[in-house]
Structure 1
Amino acid sequence: MVKISKILILILIIGGLFAFGLPKIFQGTAQEMPEKMAVEEKKLPKIIDKDKNKIFDNLEEILEGQPDEAFFNTIVLFEEKLSDTLFGKAKEKIGDFSIKYQYPSISGIATSLTKGQIIALSKIPFVKQIEDDAEVTIFLDKATYWFGVQKARSDFGVDGNLDGQVTYSTDDIVIAVLDTGIDYNHLDLNEGKVIGQKCYCCSLLNPQGKCVKPCCPNGKDEDTNALDDHGHGTHVSSIAAGEGEGNLNYKGVAPGAALVGVKVLDSGGSGYMSYVNKGIEWVIANKGTLGIEIMNMSIGAAGCSNGQDSTSLLVNDAVAAGIVSVVAAGNEGSKTCTVGSPAAAQYAITVGAMADVNPGNAASGLPRYGFYQGYFSSRGPTADGRIKPDVSAPGVFVMAAARGTGNGYTEKTGTSMSTPFTAGVAGLMLHAKPTLTPAEIKSKIATTA
């Protein structure tokens, strides 16, 4: 117990002290710091069924003014277990519909329905809720890299390499990254660090639910290859577990950990909830085979959620399966209830972004001294009044691996960056004490930060 507490204190305090003392040495696609960053205030969708009519409020807004025969991509949850009998009963009530994906653990399906079918389905007792198959995006801006775990690693000998071998395996701490994929050819992420891959990715669903623009490496919407074609997932993975082979200054938090890449977003950094849900289910199903102990999600749908949407519920299922689930709070600014999905998941470790600033930041309009919460970082409470995020971590001016460069680095800012920092911390904790449960890790991180 004492050892874990000391590790956390070192990581969270020393990380702030040394974060900006590092040189900006990088190659490839480095981005310049903007002259002054700002957050665009906008109306966020309500990812909640406030009036209890079984149709989520954001979907109702989409349906408003549309003809009954218009099609919409939805996610439907039922009160009963999924079965052919259940589907038959539903089709008797509303007519035929096709099922894209099934999510047995939450009794849910991804399907395309007409407005008329959605309204009719909402009247059926065995239907729990109907959601929009919302757009999912990455949570980043521009920035430089944080470090501060070096002393914790050297003093306690924890880095995620649980079996002590030079090769990566399921016996190490294993972090699954649901994102745009991983560039496993980068010097910091190669040589077998990525021990498992899966892709569920579509750039464009037509109204009838057919993927007309698949985005997996094989040209389809499902693949066993999760190669990154954007860069976000590579950057995130490098923060959590990069080896620092290209530059030791930019070593990840848990460099000895192995990675599992799950590509659910396209080359533009976006995708659909239905595909993200399938990715989460795949992680849960492959926990034992690949030794997955941590899941990082630096992605999400913007809005104000109560954590009862399908993706949040699946994140809770991952935690119940023994997977520490670390989720980005989002970058929707400082207003209340800007935590969307799956950041509002009750059992997730939801992470905001903070920074340790310095005198050189004046040109960017940032505070000159002391710690501060990133102004872009989403805030709670959730739609049902819970406190979120659970913790904040380094997420401003973060330097990490740049996709397609081989050994280069680039700067990014956002809760996307603070999330893998926290996932890496969870990996160090599990290395120090492998018996820790997801609930214990969440509690220790939240109470010692």
Structure 2
Amino acid sequence: MMKSSPRVVAMLILATLIFPLTASQISPNNQRGGLDAVGEWQPRHSLEIHDEWWEDWSRDTNQDKIDDRIEWLLNQPSDVYSQWWKRAEQGYARVFVDYDHHPSDADVMALEKLGAKVTMRPIYLDSLIANVPLEIIYSESPLFQLSGVVMLEDLGLATTHMNEAAPNMSVDEVWSRYGYDGTGVTIAVLDTGVRGDHEGLNDMDDELTIGCEQPNPDPVNPNPNPIIIDCDPKISAFYDAVITDSEQPAGESYDSGTHGTHVAGIAAGTGGGQVSADGSRYIGVAPGAWLINILACCDGDIQDIIEGAEWAIENKNSKGIDILTSSLGEQQLELHFDNDGSSAWSQQMDAVADSGIITFLSAGNEFGGVTFAGCNTIDSPGDANLPITVASLDKDLGLAIYSSRGYTSDGRVKPDVSVIGSNIMAPDAATSDGYTSKSGTSMATPLMAGIAALMVEANPDLTHNQVKDIIGTDSIERDLQLLDDPGFNDCSLLESRPDNEFGYGQANPILFVESAGAIDSSLNITMDLETLQQIGNESVISGTSSGGSAGVGLVQIKVGGGDWQQATDISSIGDWSSWNLKLKPHIESGNSTIYSRLVISDDKMSPVDARRVILIDGQTDLSEELSDELSLGFYALIITFSSIVILIGRRTYMFRSSRNDDNNISDF
């Protein structure tokens, strides 16, 4: 029987130890990707649904690897394309250089050797954003001799989609029946910015709230009168992708125009400031939700939006981003160019949805009105595969004449759902307390995002795909009423659901929320907590419930984005009518949300009781202890590894010495 040599054993042990550390770096040739400029294999970062998209891209009709828009622009007077590529120097075009792999440093260097100037390498796209000399934009250009280059795509410019919604959409029924207002949910607004000091957006309740830590009085001032800090800010974070390309203090949130503030107010405005003629307030759909301002439009170009969307993905967990709404689309040229979901912008928004953020995009306003554009007018990125694309209804719930319609150029049905978007009153960024009316799919999209916030409050574990499934199942099916006006033309070849006008139909907020939360209205739960109550580490939360039966179900508690914890039943008959729970220690202090629910089964739960609270006494040493434990574990692995190597070395040396002795004996 053959014995394994110590060297073989040593190699096997070393391979066992080293392989887990190196396996992630191995890229077999059959993996998704390609060779870079120096012949090294590079994987793709884009989603699999976009594999080989360049082979039949609808914007490269002559298949010369150059975007038809670029070719059209280069045939126009120089002042036309100079204005279009306004961020580039004279004689350069602003483009995506698309690869069959994620471009490496070598690819950047190779492109720049041709005179290009790379301005961004997006994380989730297999592209470089660059200023490329016009003189090398032709089909036989050395640009297309670079390894892995598959397309030269116009970068383009972005534009906004603009042309007593809550009661008409029955949102107020969700408020009154379940008390949901978006509490605990965070909506990121990828737009022109959000004016943070507008009375409808500067906090949660339009009143200064006493009870949190306030600044110390100025000792120099003989009559100190410190400014009271509001404990419940509406805007929780602010990222500027246009000017500073960095995160800025949330308290400095601003709007570079007026569009983003209006959008934010529709989704989550509190209604503070100006009131209507009858004294009612212009309240957003989810006034209890937090907002994140991602300022990405429209002083630059689409690179800013790519950067803002990338920041959302990278900060999804740290900022608690549940939902992203964006009412932006490509600025159109004189000719309409087809959209099949393969543009870099559309691929980037697919990446946002794929990251787990519930993503809503506007369909566009290209169907009818002053200029009749017709069917197949869904703007990019509304043509993206994964996000939920929103069409607009008038207040009488008829389909708005301007709302863009499908198909997409690759034959997919779009939009996905329809909500009111015409004549919506929301905060006016030109004032600190005023409201103004706007229309467009820009307005419909944040309204749908606000409805989604109510759904997430009902079920904090809700995913993007689950929201999409609920929309597909529970929307109110609508049929287009054809009239003599050609503007009401039917864009669906087959009368099926979804269609190219309404998508799956009109949003149904009450049913959406009930489906999301698996709500049984006979069940109820209440926590013994006040809004903005301070919660110390390992506090005991108690409450009551009703509708349960002895020995059936359980009560669950969740803090922020943490896991559900099971409470203890302290009722006399075991029906969870009274319960409590000692919370696990928390690391960070600050604004958070505590949720509770009575669960009888997976499809039978009480409405969630959600309370905004302030966590205090965060145990930062918990993270240090965890880091120490990881460090100790790492050092223990190194010591073990070293010991094995030394032991193997000694055994090998002894084995060789023994064989040498044997050889010496046989020689005699």
Aligning the two structures, in what range does the TM-score lie when normalised by the shorter sequence?
A: 0.7 to 0.9
Counterpart residue number, 1:115:
134
Find out whether 1:336 has 2:375 as its counterpart. yes
Of 123, 130, 138 in structure 1, the residue corresponding to residue 152 of structure 2 is 130
Q: What is the CA distance between 1:233 and its match in structure 2? A: 0.5
Counterpart residue number, 1:84:
105
Counterpart residue number, 2:27:
none
Secondary structure of residue in 2 paired with 1:443: helix
Counterpart residue number, 2:513:
none
Query: Which residue identity lines up with residue 354 of structure 1 in the other structure?
Result: L
Query: Which residue identity lines up with residue 177 of structure 2 in the other structure?
Result: D
Of 236, 246, 255 in structure 2, the residue corresponding to residue 195 of structure 1 is 236
Counterpart residue number, 1:418:
444
Query: Which residue identity lines up with residue 153 of structure 2 in the other structure?
Result: E
Alignment root-mean-square deviation, CA: 2.2
Q: What is the CA distance between 1:306 and its match in structure 2? A: 0.7
Query: Which residue identity lines up with residue 187 of structure 1 in the other structure?
Result: E
Q: What is the CA distance between 1:447 and its match in structure 2? A: 3.2
Q: What is the CA distance between 1:249 and its match in structure 2? A: 3.1
Q: Deviations for 1:100-158, whole angstroms, at most 9, x for unmatched residues?
A: 111021122211112333332245450132211211001112xx755431111221222
Find out whether 1:232 has 2:259 as its counterpart. yes
Counterpart residue number, 1:444:
470
Of 140, 162, 171 in structure 2, the residue corresponding to residue 140 of structure 1 is 162
Find out whether 1:186 has 2:225 as its counterpart. no
Superposition TM-score, scaled by structure 1 size: 0.75
Counterpart residue number, 1:49:
60
Counterpart residue number, 2:125:
106
**Is 1:193–1:258's contact at 8 Å kept on the other side of the alignment?**
yes
**Is 2:166–2:285's contact at 8 Å kept on the other side of the alignment?**
no
Superposition TM-score, scaled by structure 2 size: 0.51
Query: Which residue identity lines up with residue 325 of structure 2 in the other structure?
Result: N
Which gives a bigger RCO, structure 1 or 2 (Cα 8 Å, sep 6+)? 1
Of 82, 96, 111 in structure 2, the residue corresponding to residue 75 of structure 1 is 96
Q: CA distance change for structure 1 residues 140 and 146 in 2, over 3 Å: closer, same or farther?
A: farther
Q: Deviations for 1:170-220, whole angstroms, at most 9, x for unmatched residues?
A: xx211110111001111111031111111122xxxxxxxxxxxxxx4xxx5
Counterpart-to-counterpart distance in 2, 1:90 and 1:271:
23
Secondary structure of residue in 2 paired with 1:288: coil
Counterpart residue number, 1:295:
324
Counterpart residue number, 2:177:
155
Q: What is the CA distance between 1:223 and its match in structure 2? A: 6.3
Number of aligned residues: 356
Q: Deviations for 1:200-259, whole angstroms, at most 9, x for unmatched residues?
A: 22xxxxxxxxxxxxxx4xxx5666254113211011000000112234531111111100
Counterpart-to-counterpart distance in 2, 1:447 and 1:151:
20
**Is 1:103–1:109's contact at 8 Å kept on the other side of the alignment?**
yes
Q: What is the CA distance between 1:324 and its match in structure 2? A: 1.0
**Is 1:137–1:271's contact at 8 Å kept on the other side of the alignment?**
no
**Is 2:408–2:414's contact at 8 Å kept on the other side of the alignment?**
yes
Counterpart residue number, 1:429:
455
Q: What is the CA distance between 1:83 and its match in structure 2? A: 1.5
Counterpart residue number, 2:288:
256
Counterpart-to-counterpart distance in 1, 2:380 and 2:305:
11
Percentage identity across aligned positions? 33
Counterpart-to-counterpart distance in 2, 1:231 and 1:261:
13
Secondary structure of residue in 2 paired with 1:227: coil
Secondary structure of residue in 2 paired with 1:62: helix
Q: What is the CA distance between 1:51 and its match in structure 2? A: 3.2
Secondary structure of residue in 1 paired with 2:318: helix
Q: Deviations for 1:26-67, whole angstroms, at most 9, x for unmatched residues?
A: xxxxxxxxxxxxxxxxxxxx9722333322221221123789
Counterpart residue number, 1:245:
272
Of 340, 343, 348 in structure 1, the residue corresponding to residue 387 of structure 2 is 348
Counterpart-to-counterpart distance in 2, 1:323 and 1:221:
21
Alignment of 1:270-309 (within 5 A): 271-301=300-330, 302=332, 303-309=337-343
- Structure 2 residue runs of 5 or longer lacking an equivalent are 1-56, 79-89, 204-232, 369-373, 476-668
Q: Deviations for 1:291-339, whole angstroms, at most 9, x for unmatched residues?
A: 0111111111045311111111011111111011100111112411111
Counterpart-to-counterpart distance in 2, 1:66 and 1:86:
32
Counterpart residue number, 2:347:
313
Q: CA distance change for structure 1 residues 353 and 122 in 2, over 3 Å: closer, same or farther?
A: farther
Counterpart-to-counterpart distance in 1, 2:240 and 2:472:
32
Secondary structure of residue in 2 paired with 1:411: strand
Counterpart-to-counterpart distance in 1, 2:472 and 2:283:
24
Find out whether 1:397 has 2:452 as its counterpart. no
Counterpart-to-counterpart distance in 2, 1:70 and 1:443:
48
Counterpart residue number, 1:379:
405
Counterpart-to-counterpart distance in 2, 1:271 and 1:389:
27
Counterpart-to-counterpart distance in 1, 2:417 and 2:77:
41
Q: Which has the larger radius of gyration?
A: 2
Q: CA distance change for structure 1 residues 52 and 444 in 2, over 3 Å: closer, same or farther?
A: farther
- Structure 1 residue runs of 5 or longer lacking an equivalent are 1-45, 162-171, 202-215, 358-370
**Is 1:400–1:410's contact at 8 Å kept on the other side of the alignment?**
yes
Counterpart-to-counterpart distance in 2, 1:109 and 1:415:
30
Secondary structure of residue in 2 paired with 1:104: coil
